[in-house]
Amino acid sequence: MIIDIHPHIVSPDTKKYPLDPLGGTQSTWSTERPTTYDDLLRAMDAAGVAKAAIVHSSTAYGYDNNYVADAVAAVPSRFTGVYSIDVLAPDAVKTFDKWLSRGCTGMRLFTTGSTLPNQATWFAEPATYPFWEHAAAKNVPVCVQMKQEGIPLLRQVMDKFPKVTIILDHLSQTPHQEGPPYKGADTFLSLANYKQVYLKITPINVTPKTGWGKGTPDTFFPKFVDAFGADRIGWGSNFPNSVGTLKEILTAAQKAFSFAKSSDQDWIFGKTALSLYPSLKG
């Protein structure tokens, strides 16, 4: 069973779901390719993807998770939701619980991205501690979209909250163009010592816009499988942010991981998702 842990959805109905992007600028992809949850279902069916953990579109809706929540409520047999909140807010824990009651089984911190290119540091500030403590208590995994520069701060968070499950989006943009032995990946790979860390492989890693340089998928990705284990790696499509059909995106990822034994591929393309988001087992 193939499961996607990083698709997005955006409704064309801006009256019901008002736009309020983080940073004040809407992402290009969400402007050009608004994709409803019905569109996502059709793409999943065409690609052979059974279920999905939909990641809230922060660059369209900010901290308003209503569209993802409505999608999960509409199709609970195939969707779960990864939401975003303002973790610095005094009422962050109360807001957390509000979205938990509406189908949230994962959280995401958008600390950098196309509309916010600099690496933020707020996710390690003391004001966020109630959020981290609550995520650990509720056993809700937290996706962190960050760059390599954020690793020291992430270590601080994990040292203080060792029971929080962390999922690192897009391998935190670990460099690959230098080729083997990929010394630039050493700092990131050292995070494997934190058993709470999981990795998310997306087209940003599989088909990087800047190309592979001296690297290749079959020399780069094995380092992550060896360090973390396939049971701590999951695949996400980043659809429709990433260009191409969901089927094309999945096929490219499967080709990139064709070096792995079939049991490892089972984890990367499905079983890891079920361990992170048990509601998808139903």
Distance of alpha carbon 267 from alpha carbon 117, whole angstroms? 32
Query: What pLDDT, on the 0 to 100 scale, is given for residue 114?
Result: 75
Query: So where are the chain's domains?
Result: 3-281
Q: What is the mean pLDDT of each run of 10 residues along the chain (282 residues)?
A: 98 96 91 95 98 97 98 98 98 98 97 86 97 98 96 98 98 96 97 98 96 97 98 98 96 98 98 98 89
CATH topology of domain 3-281: TIM Barrel (3.20.20)
Query: What pLDDT, on the 0 to 100 scale, is given for residue 60?
Result: 96
250 residue type, one letter: L
Stated pTM of the model: 0.97
Q: Is 212 exposed, middle or buried (0-12, 13-18, 19+ CB in 10 A)?
A: middle
Query: What pLDDT, on the 0 to 100 scale, is given for residue 105?
Result: 98
pLDDT tens across 61-117, in order? 999 999 999 999 999 999 999 999 999 999 999 999 999 999 999 999 999 887 788
Query: What pLDDT, on the 0 to 100 scale, is given for residue 264?
Result: 98
pLDDT tens across 108-117, in order? 999 988 778 8
Distance of alpha carbon 59 from alpha carbon 104, whole angstroms? 18
Query: What pLDDT, on the 0 to 100 scale, is given for residue 187?
Result: 97
